[in-house]
């Protein structure tokens, strides 16, 4: 688990354990906070798990080929 302090201009809501909604009046600070949250655990390239944006698509790498 990762703990981050939320800036006073940004509001963060947790709808589910893996869904976090960040809102605020200052767009730049909201994006900066969302980037800080994502940088804690960026998505894996093999499984596509961990923290990612809602509309983000991860191109998965191919795993080992079996003979």
The pLDDT tens digits of the residues spanning 19-66 come to: 889 999 999 999 999 999 888 888 888 888 888 888 888 888 888 888
In a domain, 10, yes or no: yes
In a domain, 60, yes or no: no
In a domain, 67, yes or no: no
Q: What is the pTM of this model?
A: 0.76
User: H or E segment at 22?
Assistant: strand 19-24
Confidence bin at 11 (pLDDT 50/70/90):
very high
d(CA 46, CA 30): 29
Per-residue pLDDT, 38 = 87
Q: Which residue has the higher pLDDT, 12 or 49?
A: 12
Domain range enclosing 31 = 1-54
Residue 50 DSSP class: S
């Amino acid at each position: 688990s990762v703990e981050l302090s939320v800036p006073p201009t940004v509001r963060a809501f947790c709808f589910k354990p893996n869904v976090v909604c960040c809102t605020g009046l200052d767009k730049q600070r909201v994006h900066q906070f969302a980037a800080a949250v994502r940088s804690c655990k960026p998505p894996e390239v093999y499984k596509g798990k961990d923290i990612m944006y809602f509309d983000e698509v991860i191109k998965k790498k191919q795993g080992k080929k079996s003979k």
